[in-house]
Amino acid sequence: FANAGILYPRVSETREQISLDGLWNFATSSPTQKHDSTWYLRNFRAVDGLEVDLMAVPSSYNDIGTGFEIRDHVGLVWYQRDFVVPKSWQSGKVWIRFSSVCYSATAWINGEEAVSHSIGHLPFQADVTSLVVYGARNTITVAVDNILTNSTIPEGYIEELNSGRQKQQVTFDFFNYAGIDRPVVLYTTPSTYINDVTVTTDFDGTNGFVSYDVFLVGSDAVTARVSLLDKEGNEVAVDTLLNSTLFVQNVNLWWPYLMDPSPGYLYTLQIQLLDSSGELWDKYSQPVGIRTISWNENTLQINNKPVYLRGFGRHEDSAIRGKGLDLPLILRDHNLIKWIGANAYRTSHYPYAEEIMDLADQLGIMIINECPAVGLIHLGTPELLENHKQSLTEMYNRDKNRPSVIMWSAGNEPASSDPQATDDHFREVFAHIHDLDPTRPVTVINFNGRHDNQGGEYIDVIGFNFYTGWYQDTGELDVVVTNLVAEGQRLRGIYNKPVMVTEYGSDTQEGLHILPSFVWTEEYQNELISKFFQGFDQMRDDGFIGEMIWCFADFKTDQSVNRVGGNKKGIFTRDREPKASAHLLRKRYWALAEVL
Ligand code: GCB
């Protein structure tokens, strides 16, 4: 697998790390400029006539400036900065790891190509041991391309306007933010090192089982010591094999939020390699939650208990930063999730930052982990299929050990008009995910009855987006319950699989009030979602396993006549303050939590 061995970089007794986050030099270039223009590889502060700015890493670059040129830029931008590699790093290996660059990137170190990667929201790394100079200054240059085509994930196309300007058109409803939007680190490993670990868990009564498979690179003249530590750091199990099962007495299971007094219990799998004299050679610590997932035609179960998912679709989105990782923001979001009593969300419409996933693991939030395949159109074309599978492989490699991930989503609202091509495409895609991971159910999110020939028969859970009372029957609140229940029952009837609503809602301008309720008001959002609650309650006993409102918070989109400064279906505003609907949803989610 291309990015197998993409462990989250963690400092240990044998591993050091330097963050390359901060202010980088930044320049845009025309859409026709190609990567091989070595012009930028020199220290471009010195190049005459080139407009050089500063750019924050991590951040999307679009909303940092004040002009259209950066916000609506199409094509390459260039990032560059200097860094020093300590002399002491000479003895082992040095890696560079990007947690995400949207959409594609090529990085050079001291003018030599180090790594190239496409598909946003996913990490990539390279061994740069022989490219860096030790005890001296180095320069890194990164070319970032945001162009989406009919074979990228997600898709897009370039339109030439009559002004001659190139415009990126997209097939999805959120702003096409770009840039180095998650952390960049340099880190070390020894020459023989822990490259990857895969963990699966099980339990039987009060005993837990942690099966692990450690993948080493380098010499095999090392021995292993693999131990499991509880939350207090006590060793509760130990083994000396690289591939084995640890047995845990009186196990603390990983439970979803509010299903247990201490949800999200995490152990630590501590992997140590020792050399022939028993000295520590490499050490990596992997958080582990012990839980099982099972499913049948009616239910989804965690630790053999049926769960009802209550949550939302979300976005990584905020003012100024765009999709850039922002620690205060993600903690605020996490606190709002706790406040509202949700137990689940979908990473619509791409994998979220690893730091966000860590919070979900720790709180017991159940994640439907979605790959970036939103609104695919050209189903049936081999290159798109390959890239779609690649995005799933990379998401799996990154998140396979996370207890929070309870389901994979192969995408949102595929929109091909060719049923046969769509069917062929999804048959292969689902075979691919089931092959990668037999331990988790899979879905693809659909709308308007389009599960037919869109993979419905190959998936484990039917998720549907349903906008009755908004895009359909706008303003007609009295038809909502009947429409919703009819669609839920129709899907149940066809597939006989668990069904859930993955999106419903209405655009709502905070502070807008009209009585009787009118579209876009806070009253309308509250009345509409109350109707949905009635429908959900009617479906509960018949294989209906969850409700996710669209959307957690307002977010930026492209400009269009039905988007006022962006999509306003949030129950929180873009700056994370509650609309009236957040209070209503909170009452429902806490009430649902108590009956479980
Ligand atoms: C959808 C999409 C989501 C949109 C939403 C809307 O079905 O999945 O990305 O933002 O509808 O508000 O139109």
Burial of 35 by CB count in 10 Å (0-12 exposed, 13-18 middle, 19+ buried)? middle
Query: Order of strands across the sheet with 93-98?
Result: 17-19, 184-189, 93-98, 124-127
Q: Quick check: helix, strand or coil at residue 58? A: coil
Question: Which protein residues are within 6 Å of ligand 1, measured from CB?
Answer: 173, 412-413, 447, 465, 503, 550, 567, 569
For 112-159, write each residue's pLDDT tens digit: 999 999 999 999 999 999 999 999 999 999 999 999 999 999 999 999
- DSSP designation for 352: P
Segment 357-371 shows an average pLDDT of 98
Please identify which of the residues 155, 316, 354, 413 carries the catalytic annotation: 413
Position 449 scores a pLDDT of: 58
Rounded to the nearest whole angstrom, what is the distance from the C-alpha of residue 268 to the centroid of ligand 1? 38
Contact 501, 537 (CB under 8 A): no
For 160-184, write each residue's pLDDT tens digit: 999 999 999 999 999 999 999 999 9
Position 283 scores a pLDDT of: 98
Facing residues of 284 across strands? 271
Distance, CA of 156 to CA of 169 (rounded, Å): 6
Backbone angles phi, psi at 468, to 5 degrees: -60, 140
Q: Quick check: helix, strand or coil at residue 509? A: coil
For 533-590, write each residue's pLDDT tens digit: 999 999 998 999 999 999 999 999 999 999 999 999 999 999 999 999 999 999 999 9
**How many C-beta atoms surround the C-beta of residue 91 within 10 A?**
10
Residue 456: pLDDT band by 50, 70, 90 thresholds? Answer: low
Rounded to the nearest whole angstrom, what is the distance from the C-alpha of residue 385 to the centroid of ligand 1? 23
Q: Structural domains in the chain? A: 17-189 (2.60.120.260), 193-288 (2.60.40.10), 306-595 (3.20.20.80)
Strands 243-248 and 207-217, sheet pairing: antiparallel
Q: Give the dihedral of Cα atoms 464, 470, 472, 473; nearest 10 deg.
A: 130
> Ligand 1: which atom is nearest the Cα of residue 555?
10
Does the pTM surpass 0.90? The reply is yes
**Of the listed ranges 25-39, 269-283, 480-494, 523-537, the one predicted with least confidence:** 25-39
Question: Which of 444, 464, 506, 550 is the pocket-test mutation for ligand 1 (most atoms within 8 Å of CB)?
Answer: 550
For 227-242, write each residue's pLDDT tens digit: 999 999 999 999 999 9
For 88-119, write each residue's pLDDT tens digit: 999 999 999 999 999 999 999 998 999 999 99
User: What's the token pair of residue 126?
Assistant: 């390279």
Q: Quick check: helix, strand or coil at residue 39? A: helix
Question: In whole numbers, what is the pLDDT of the chain averaged over residues?
Answer: 93
How long is the chain? 596
Distance, CA of 476 to CA of 230 (rounded, Å): 54
| Annotation says 413 is catalytic | yes
ipTM over 0.90? The verdict is yes
Rounded to the nearest whole angstrom, what is the distance from the C-alpha of residue 438 to the centroid of ligand 1? 29
